[in-house]
Structure 1
């Protein structure tokens, strides 16, 4: 199995989950700027969308989109409790959070990463993102992770996109529950292994 990733990008989320799941895989660097692999081949031949992550199975089939990939990984190791069982209300809670992170947080950062976007638009997006993070901070006031006591797929995704806040000048000052969440997740051995594999430190972030 192969994971195509770019350092610090949203592909860090399934990278973390693969380490949490203790599943064997190969990590392959795919540049989101040149769309080339390390050997110079065209990444578009792997994923026509041109972005990461892509998970390639041993039979050659491929799965794209981070929220789908992390759920597949979690379902392979149900004893790890990375996702609630399919069909339960709690599983839909997971999908609820994955959709929120995708649409309200990840997508917003896309505006900030775009060099062609006017600064006025970026300033408005920073305010919107801070407001969206406020909702997450309030949710974490009563529990260590998004779904309760267990670290899971949504937490890995939230950790990754939150790493982008400081370099993109999104002010999360005062969000104490978010800050403790980030420290808690960063301390996990699987997270540290994924960061090390991508050449990142806990403080670094990259689109």
Structure 2
């Protein structure tokens, strides 16, 4: 039976901070005893994880060009074979040694977030076309009413990026580079701009 549209009503939104760190990363804020370690902290992989190890580094930058020091960033991604560590993954078996999700508060001095992970494999779009390797990021901070979603693609995947069905839906092509992480060796740098000339593309999902 179909439920009426007003069965569950949307809760009013409010800014994420300053309590987001207390709730999501209590150890980071000096509140110990809630969790042994903060959920999502630490590397997304271990010594047995398949795939190429990479480090993702970046900052969340406001409209004045200043890095936010109270941002919290989460990432989701597929494993090296393109499978998600999720109960809804039906295409194949994900690498049991890859977590697929991480959470990192920005450094309170520099505003930098860091994830130790692997380069993801390609995942099919809903029509079957393969998307380029990417990670999905969710950003919250003081003053952001609703968490922001974006993606990071890889600068060393030019051919895959050119045929990616999501990147190809971006009307203003000059903004596509805001979704490309710059890879140098095993480090990928990806700064997220909230406003201004280099404003990152965010997705309504």
TM-score, with structure 2 as normaliser: 0.26
TM-score, with structure 1 as normaliser: 0.26
Higher strand residue share: 2
Q: Is the radius of gyration larger for structure 1 or structure 2? A: 2
